[in-house]
């Protein structure tokens, strides 16, 4: 009986103590992982994902693993998954999921800053409308056709109006008034000479 007790005691002593303590917490901005009392003679693995995307790619460790991992800014709850694969048996492994809440002040997504809109060119002045009474004294302005190679990028299209248009319109108006004045003077002379 004493021999059997000694044999059992020796077997228990030879087996490493494996308490395997996986402790982890999740808040709105980080995941804290503390894995202790794992078997250092085997390869243990740990992986952390956030909504299926790697937050901490698979790492190997021995007896202990301690890590704080930042969670990217989020505006909705995020599912955080911890997977620990113990090298000395699946019964010591852990697969657990926790939820990371939205941090206070981040519950509404920031609207992207508006892009500046390109400024529109100022509209060109409309050409003056021709007088309804035709005048033979008004010279006609020759149409200006630009050379094909003379236009530069960014120039506005030709509208037919130029800086000399007001001068031409003024001369035409003066000629029209002078003609009307001559007609009035001639009519008065006929009346006077007819009496």
Range 56-73 burial, b when 16+ CB lie within 10 A, else e: eeeeebeeebeeeeebee
Q: Determine the CATH number of domain 19-100.
A: 2.60.40
**Tens digits of per-residue pLDDT, 2-17?**
444 444 444 444 444 4
Q: Which of 22-31, 78-87, 143-152, 165-174 has the lowest mean pLDDT?
A: 143-152
Q: Where are the domains of the chain?
A: 19-100, 164-195
Whether this model's pTM surpasses 0.75: no
pLDDT in tens, 106-160: 665 555 555 656 566 666 666 656 555 555 555 555 555 555 554 455 555 555 5
The pLDDT, as a whole number, for residue 110 is: 53
Print the SS3 string covering 25-91. Answer: EECCCEEEEEEECCCCCCCEEEEEEECCEEEEEEEEECCCEEEEEECCCCCCCEEEEEEEECCCCHH
């Amino acid at each position: 009986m004493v021999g059997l007790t000694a044999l059992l005691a020796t077997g228990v002593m030879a087996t490493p103590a494996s308490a395997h303590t996986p402790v982890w917490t999740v808040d709105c901005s980080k995941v804290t992982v503390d894995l202790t009392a794992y078997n250092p003679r085997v390869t243990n693995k740990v992986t952390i994902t956030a909504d299926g995307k790697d937050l901490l790619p698979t790492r190997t460790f021995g007896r202990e693993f301690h890590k704080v991992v930042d969670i990217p800014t989020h505006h909705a709850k995020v599912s955080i998954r911890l997977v620990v694969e113990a090298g000395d048996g699946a019964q010591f492994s852990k697969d657990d999921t926790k939820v990371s809440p939205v941090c206070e002040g981040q519950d509404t997504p920031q609207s992207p800053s508006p892009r500046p809109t390109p400024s529109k060119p100022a509209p060109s002045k409309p050409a003056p409308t021709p007088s309804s009474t035709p005048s033979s004294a008004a010279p006609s302005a020759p149409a200006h056709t630009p050379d094909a190679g003379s236009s530069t990028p960014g120039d506005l299209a030709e509208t037919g109006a130029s800086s000399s248009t007001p001068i031409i319109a003024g001369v035409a108006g003066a000629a029209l008034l002078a003609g009307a004045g001559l007609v009035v003077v001639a009519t008065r002379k006929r009346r006077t000479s007819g009496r």
